[in-house]
Chain A
Amino acid sequence: EVQLVQSGAEVKKPGESLKISCKGSGYSFTSYWIGWVRQMPGKGLEWMGIIYPGDSDTRYSPSFQGQVTISADKSISTAYLQWSSLKASDTAMYYCARPPDSGYYPVYWGQGTLVTVSS
């Protein structure tokens, strides 16, 4: 069974750094991209970027370029989303997702990681 399990909720202060994770299981981690999606409180879904774990090729949505870093460690089947200096506006739910076996669209989703940034 394909599963994406994300790390737990985080509460941070502005200016702090953070790295959240998304662990894939039940499939070959390097064979499918992982995408990250942001959902701010009460708002819609926003595509942040994508990583191909096989070679760590990464693409960012223009809105998130330079704001976050997406990475992966294929040895432990885990993708990451990280911030070097959090802002209050980073408060949101973050989801990871991957495509189906034959397709190129998000179908499997993690349960989400809630990040709260507050002084």
Chain B
Amino acid sequence: QSVLTQPPSASGTPGQRVTISCSGSSSNIGSNYVYWYQQLPGTAPKLLIYRNNQRPSGVPDRFSGSKSGTSASLAISGLRSEDEADYYCAAWDDSLSDLYVFGTGTKVTVL
């Protein structure tokens, strides 16, 4: 069902920068904001980025988001062991009323 495509995995050593891509279409990313969630094992998703590049209070500035056309990306700089988690992009999709679509998810591993 996922209409947003992410790489299945990404990895880096502590302190490195990791970037995760999210590819969509004109009906979702192309015309709406992008959101990013972090999901630690056994827990509910947590909002990391909203409205393409805004961080909720409490989210470290090591996390940053960007969007261009029908694609978006999440960057994690200064990678830390606690960043090891699954990351999902998301956006509303204009093809149907109140349809929220998630990305396929990316597992980030800290080597």
Contact = CB atoms under 8 A, between A and B. Distances in A.
B111 interface: no
Which 10 interchain pairs have the tightest Cβ spacing? A109-B44, A44-B105, A59-B98, A45-B102, A47-B100, A63-B1, A50-B98, A107-B47, A46-B1, A105-B35
B48 to A, nearest CB: 11
B85 interface: no
Interface string B10-47: 00000000000000000000000101010100001111
Interface of B: 1-2, 33, 35, 37, 39, 44-47, 50-51, 56, 86, 88, 90, 92, 96-105
Nearest to A47: B100
Contacts of B44: 95, 109-112
Given A61-B1, A107-B50, A107-B56, A45 B105 contact: yes
A31 B44 CA distance: 23
* Interface size band for A: 20 to 34
A103 interface: yes
B33 A47 contact: no
A47 B35 CA distance: 14
Given A45-B88, A103-B50, A95 B2 contact: no
Interface string A36-48: 0100000011110
A105 B99 CA distance: 11
Which residue among A49, A63, A95, A109 has the maximum number of chain B CB atoms within 10 Å of its CB?
A109
Nearest to B34: A105
A111 B35 CA distance: 20
Interface string A49-81: 110000000010111000000000000000000
Given A95-B44, A109-B46, 5 more contacts: A37-B102, A50-B98, A61-B1, A105-B92, A105-B100
